[in-house]
Amino acid sequence: MTRWLSKNLIRIYAALAFIYLFIPVAYTMAFSFNDSGKRNLIWQGFTFKNWLNPCGAPEVCTALGNSIKIGFLATLFSTILGTMIAFALGRYSFRGRNTTNLLIFLPMATPEIVLGASLLAMFLNLGINPGFWTTVIAHVMFCISFVVVTVKARIASLDPKLEEAARDLYATEWQTFRRVTLPLVAPGIAAAALLAFSLSFDDFIITNFNSGTVNTFPKFVWVSSARGVPAQANVIGSAMFLIALAIVISAQIYSSAKARRLQKKH
Amino acid sequence: MAFAHAGTATASKPGRAGMRIPYLLLLPGLLWLLLFFVLPLINLAETSTKTPIAGGETGAYEQTFRLQNYVDAFSENSAQFSRSFIYALLATVLALAISYPLAYAIAFKSGKYKNILLVLVIAPFFTSFLLRTIAWKQILGEEGPVISILRTFHLIGADTSITATALAVITGMTYNFLPFMTLPIYASLERIDPRLMEASGDLYANGLTTFRRVTFPLSMPGVVAGTLLTFIPAAGDYVNAQILGNPTTKMIGNVIDSRFFRIVDYPTAAALSFTLMAAILILITVYIRRAGTDELI
């Protein structure tokens, strides 16, 4: 018994850590089925009605729609800009490299509240009213660095021999990039885009500073938390969780199936 | 997570026309950061030394280069400052204590379930972090399961509560930043050549010695990245303190937020933001020097 325990101690510890990680998720999901009325604080009974009517609480779907739109635009811009920087850093030597690295690192080392407050102060100074587009601008700004480090890591892990082989086979620089480099870096770009979307979608602090009267899902949750979050917010949170999990798991299955197919061929 | 990987890059030899390519690639992104990150910071610095216009309306300030603003801002809020750093430090240490064994188990003990377990570490992220923090408030609250279990077993008195305490705030912070700690540690453990650990065993080191002398030192870049990714957002956080705390657990983030929005005291908010950022950057620099890993930047 003691031997089994000491041998599996670390596994038990990990299992407990996972329970800790999932307690609030389970709680959020459970309370999406609560027959609660307005204040979703105490368990009243099981119901599907919140799931059948996720837009039942006022404003919740407008806020969700804004979050999705902002997330999509922020992901698009930050992935393009960040990937370009990652290629410059990963593939070229140039003057100003260290300064660039520092400029990429600093936004990640700055607390969100400083990023949010400084940007809003500038917008107000310039007489720009914060709203939808100022939020997009802010999100692109803090997502770029995360895209750069993710894509750069992927570029650094590539086998240079593959590109050399393409050049040996008389591929032009553009062909090499288009047919060899880009497909190899693509999973890194996809991961960066997913990361950017989830950072943007879940951001509260910077958004709260720069969105003016535009409501987003985290803002909705924050404002309603004072008097009890409606169960519809739990439905949306749970649905996001299930959708994201499904995407990630099917991507995993797809890539491992592809790896197995490739192994069989050779 | 990607923090740990960054660093090495294979530079190619660009031709004459190729000289311009890296700059063209950098231009739009760096311009964005210049306009919406660097310029706002300069503007913030400028705001931080302003003073109210005599007889002007609220929110109207003029530049008087009053550096005393910093002294005032700091001395009025030194309690919240030290609280921010103490809470963030405690949350970081707790997150490290939970994450390291977790990352170790995933890297070395999980066999074919490795990828699934990694997904599970990130998965809680997919539920809004505000919803999860509010869930903690209810779980630790008066009607929640934790209190009633502890009371049933007489582990705490009837008048002791967890909700709205420093403990709840630190629990929430530890929880919210846990994946930021776990993933970089996992990434650096994963990269360790297992032959190094075998070699240590062959040289008669026991499991503990192998861990202390081989595995742990090799995982240091991940530990450094993880502690930074946890500490930085934790020190500037005000969401956990707002939802899970009480007025005596206010952190510097709460002060900046209320100075900005409720009191429209932009200079103080700016001075506090700058002090916070400077303090964090100094800590990071010292810490990275100490830990001896420049791999991060």
Q: Give pLDDT, residue B15.
A: 52
Local confidence band at B33 (pLDDT 50, 70, 90 cut-offs) = very high
The pLDDT of residue B14 is: 47
Class for domain A65-218, per CATH?
A: mainly alpha
Select from B232, B53, B35, B101 the least CA-distant residue to A119.
B35
* Of B160, B182, B215, B162, the residue nearest B94 (C-alpha): B182
Q: How confident is the model at residue B276 (pLDDT cuts 50, 70, 90)?
A: very high
For residue B151, being part of any structural domain is answered with yes
Structure-token pair, residue B244: 């899970």
Rounded mean pLDDT, A135-158: 93
* Residues 64-103 (A) with a CB less than 8 A from some CB of B: 81-82, 84-85, 87-94, 100-103
Residue B174 forms part of a structural domain: yes
Query: B297 falls in which pLDDT band (50, 70, 90)?
Result: very low
Q: Take residue B110 and report the two structure tokens written for it.
A: 């999980």
pLDDT at A64 over 90: yes
The answer, yes or no, to whether residue A136 has pLDDT greater than 90, is: yes
Between B88 and B210, the more confident residue is: B88
pLDDT (tens digit, 9 = 90+) per residue, A69-80? 999 999 999 999
pLDDT of residue A250: 86
Q: What is the mean pLDDT of chain B?
A: 84
For residue A155, which amino acid is it? I
The yes-or-no verdict on residue B79 having pLDDT over 50 is yes
User: Is position B9 within any domain?
Assistant: no
Answer yes or no: do A237 and B128 touch at CB < 8 A. Answer: yes
Radius of gyration from C-alpha coordinates of chain A: 23
Predicted local distance difference test score (pLDDT) of residue B18 = 63
Which H or E run includes B45? helix B39-47
Query: Looking at the domain assignment, is residue B86 inside a domain?
Result: yes
Instruction: Provide the domain limits for residue B156.
Output: 70-291
Structural domains in chain B (count):
1
Residue A247 neighbours by CB under 8 Å, 6+ apart? A194
pTM of structure = 0.87
Tell whether B46 is covered by a domain.
no
A254 touches chain B (CB under 8 A): no
Q: Which amino acid is at A76?
A: L
A121 sits in which H/E element: helix A112-125
Whether the CB-CB separation of B147 and B158 falls below 8 Å is answered with: no
- On chain B, the residues whose CB falls within 8 A of the CB of A225 are 130, 134, 243
For the cut 80, the answer to whether the pLDDT of residue B22 exceeds it is: yes
How far, in Å, CA of A36 to CA of A30, rounded?
Answer: 12
Which chain B residues are Cβ-neighbours of A157 within 8 angstroms? Answer: 5
Of A110-124, B208-222, B223-237, which gets the smallest average pLDDT?
A: B208-222
Select the highest-mean-pLDDT range: A53-57, A94-98, A210-214, B110-114. A210-214
Per-residue pLDDT band at A58 (split at 50, 70, 90): confident
pLDDT tens sequence across B106-156: 998 887 788 888 888 888 888 888 999 999 988 888 777 777 788 877 777
Interface touch B5/A157, C-beta < 8 Å? yes
In a domain, B3, yes or no: no
A120, B47 Cβ separation under 8 angstroms: no
The answer to whether A84 touches B28, Cβ cutoff 8 Å, is yes
Tell me, yes or no, if A177 comes closer than 8 A to chain B by beta carbon. no
Whether B11 is covered by a domain: the verdict is: no
Rounded to whole angstroms, how far apart are CA atoms B273 and B195?
48
Rounded to an integer, the average pLDDT of B50-61 is 79
CATH number of the domain residue B168 falls in: 1.10.3720.10
- The shortest C-alpha distance from B282 to chain A (Å) reads 11
ipTM attached to this prediction: 0.87
Per-residue pLDDT at A67: 95
pLDDT over 80 (residue A43): no
Domain membership of residue B54 (yes or no) is no
Closest Cα to residue A23, out of B144, B233, B151, B249? B144
